[in-house]
Every structure is written in structure tokens, then in C-alpha cells.
Copies of this chain bind each other. A is one copy, B any other.
Amino acid sequence: MIRLFELRTEKGLSQREAARIMNVSQGTYNNWENGKTQPSIEQLIALAAFFSVSVDYLIGNTDEYGTVRAGESISSEEREILKLFRALPEASKAPFMEFLKKIQ
């Protein structure tokens, strides 16, 4: 899995040590690290907790720009706007953006 190697080595652990912490064999942990097999969701959550990262980060699905960070607040009105905007036909989205800029 994308970031298991860097996270484990940063901690100075061997595969056998990390495997024991996760209650799996060294072979299994090696498979995870090299993408031969994948941990279950429960194991993903445990790995993410152990390494103090999000599951999204662990599996390489983070998108720094496109993610609402914990603590950022969005009103229900703003949430409604996003919902309505997403429901628009693709072709209407750009004109809508122009309109919104114009009425500033």
C-alpha cells in the first residue's frame, strides 16, 4: 500500500514488529506493503490510527486542495449551495460562475 513503507520505516520498525502490532504474520504485512494484498477496512483504520494519519492519506487518496479540513465551517446555506450547484447540468456550471462573479 502506497504509504505503509515510509510510515513504518519512519518509526524504525521491522516488518515483523509492525506485523505483530497488527496481529498478522510478517508475510501478510509484506503483502500489504508491496500491494500484493490489501488490508480490510478494519485493518486500514487500525493502521491509520497506529501511524496517526487518515485512511485517505494511507491509501494515497488525499487531495490537499479539495478537502474540507476539520474545523473549517460551512453554513447550512452554503452546504445547500454546493448541493444545488452539483445538481446543475455540466453546461450550466461555467455560466453560473460568471453570473456569480458579475453580481459581486
Q: Give the B-binding residues of A (Cβ under 8 A).
A: 1, 38, 40-41, 44-45, 48, 52, 54-56, 59, 61-63, 65-82, 84-88, 92-93, 96-97, 100-101, 103-104
Known: A38-B41, A45-B61, A86-B52. A76 touches B81 (CB 8 A): no
A85 and B100 contact, CB distance less than 8 A: yes
- A-B CB contact pairs (8 Å), 27 listed: A1-B41, A38-B40, A41-B44, A48-B56, A48-B61, A54-B56, A54-B61, A55-B56, A56-B56, A62-B70, A63-B73, A65-B76, A66-B74, A66-B79, A67-B74, A67-B76, A67-B79, A68-B70, A68-B71, A68-B74, A68-B79, A78-B85, A80-B97, A81-B97, A85-B100, A96-B100, A96-B103
